Amino acid sequence: MPELPEIRTLAEQMDRELAGSRITAVEVDQEKCLNRSVDSVRRGLVGRTLGPFEAHGKWIRSPLAEGGALAINLGMGAEVRLPRCAEETPENYKFRMHTADGGGLFIRFWWFGHVHLLDGTGGEGPMDRLGIDALDPALDCGAFRALLAGRRGGIKSFLLNQKNIAGIGNFYAHDLLARSGIHPMRPIPSLEPGEIGCMYRTMRDLLEASVALGGADYERDLYGRPGGFSRRRFIVGYREGEPCGRCGETVVKIRTGSTPGFICPDCQPEDPPGG
């Protein structure tokens, strides 16, 4: 499932390849991925010019020069390709957009995703309810602390809720918490100021490191190339039964709410001494 680094990689490539292009045709074989009827989306896109592409959490948005915007979310994952880099025949891609310069965008959702046409008035979709992007320059350590202030519940479910912070999913959350020495089920009020500061720096370092490598290696970019960030970089993530990359204790897999979690019992005590 693509998270912030993979989505940001795709958005940067879409910006390079598609920004400024005029849309000439739109074909949709999976109407439920749209927020309007196929005809309405086609009318709203064909003949319009794509603006700059920007990532916000797990969403990609491109304002149209004539007003409104195209917004894309890949859900559990998708094959997103330039037509010239498509591996399948075109009809296997359930959303196909063509541009005047012979380019375009093909999307094949693995399960379910979204292609929305926004009219720019706000209050019309999940993008309006997203929290700040985890790599937004405005999210400094003070702003991160402010997001956690007064909150209850477990830290991991807070981080995964896109309305709090946008872009973090299960893949990066394991090591974000492990490298910060925080158990995923720790109640937010139990976190010490030093732990929150550590978590903030770890979040930025981890996500920035993956962005620099083009995202995770199990996802592919607009050209069909895998990212360069391997899970071998993790100290606990997906390493059940292996030694923790920091202390050597055996990594265990636990239930953390509705998602599995990988933790080091030594680095991430559920009840820290003095906590």
Footprint of Zn ion on this chain (CB under 5 A)?
A: 244, 246-247, 249, 264, 266-267
Name the nearest CA neighbour of 26 among 10, 16, 40: 40
Nearer to Zn ion, 146 or 247 (CB): 247
Nearer to Zn ion, 43 or 246 (CB): 246
Nearer to Zn ion, 51 or 245 (CB): 245
Nearer to Zn ion, 45 or 185 (CB): 185
Nearer to Zn ion, 4 or 236 (CB): 236
Let me know: does 261 contact 255? Beta carbons within 8 Å: yes
Q: How far is the CB of 264 from Zn ion (least distance, A)?
A: 3
Buried b (16+ CB within 10 A) or exposed e, 251-275: bbeeebeeeebbbbeebbeeeeeee
Q: How far is the CB of 243 from Zn ion (least distance, A)?
A: 8
Nearer to Zn ion, 170 or 268 (CB): 268
Q: Dig out the tokens for 253 from the structure.
A: 């897999």
Helix (H, G, I), strand (E, B) or coil at 193: helix
Q: Dig out the tokens for 61 from the structure.
A: 């948005």
Q: How far is the CB of 266 from Zn ion (least distance, A)?
A: 5
CA pair distance 4, 232, nearest whole angstrom: 19
Q: How far is the CB of 103 from Zn ion (least distance, A)?
A: 48
Helix (H, G, I), strand (E, B) or coil at 91: helix
Q: How far is the CB of 172 from Zn ion (least distance, A)?
A: 18
Amino acid residing at 241: G
Q: How far is the CB of 262 from Zn ion (least distance, A)?
A: 11
Let me know: does 95 contact 33? Beta carbons within 8 Å: yes
